[in-house]
Amino acid sequence: MQIGWAAYRIQSAAYTVSRNFEPNPSGSRTLPNAICGFGKLRELHLRGNSIRDLPAAANAWPDLRYCNLRSNRLQHVPPSLTDAPRLRELDLRQNGIDALPSFLLTLPVLDKVDVRWNRVRETDAVALELRVRGCLVHL
């Protein structure tokens, strides 16, 4: 399948996607919509790609367990992660995030959220509530 990816790997029936994107002609980097077709995606590693958001169709990853969006250009936690009921670990370090969205509280098995080197404060209500329920939150 040719979709302009430099590298990706698929492991058995469950997918792990790890890649660095080439910038488009305008210089920005976007996640190809084709990745949304990986319905059994379990791990997503997109560190350091200057990504500003995930496609809306990315909510088609019900098996996603680990998501690394570290060192991108996110201004918010992508709302497409709302429908990731098996998400256990979310790495959002080194972005431009100001606050954690309340939808994170609906993810039943979320164990770890790392938002260090963002602008999320110790008093963030969602971070406090996640900690109360036993989730490890790094601010």
CATH of the domain at 130: 3.80.10.10
Concatenated DSSP letters of 72-83: S--SS--GGGGG
19 vs 102 pLDDT, higher one: 102
Q: Which domain holds residue 19?
A: 9-138
Domain assignment present for 87: yes
Q: How confident is the model at residue 18 (pLDDT cuts 50, 70, 90)?
A: low
- What mean pLDDT is reported for the chain? 83
Percent of the chain at pLDDT exceeding 70 = 77
| Burial of 13 (C-beta count, 10 Å sphere; 0-12/13-18/19+) | exposed
State phi, psi for 87 to the nearest 5 degrees. -65, 120
pLDDT tens profile 21-33: 555 555 556 677 7
Q: How confident is the model at residue 13 (pLDDT cuts 50, 70, 90)?
A: very low
**In contact, 45 and 16? CB cutoff 8 Å:** yes
Q: Which two tokens stand for residue 119?
A: 């602008």
Position 20 pLDDT exceeds 70: no
CA 81 to chain centre: 7
Residues 91-110 have a mean pLDDT of 98
pLDDT tens profile 23-78: 555 555 667 777 777 788 899 888 988 888 888 777 778 999 999 999 999 999 99
**Residues contacting 101, CB < 8 A, separation 6+:** 76, 77, 79, 126
Domain assignment present for 91: yes
Q: How confident is the model at residue 8 (pLDDT cuts 50, 70, 90)?
A: very low
**In contact, 92 and 69? CB cutoff 8 Å:** yes
Q: How many domains does the chain have?
A: 1
Domain assignment present for 1: no
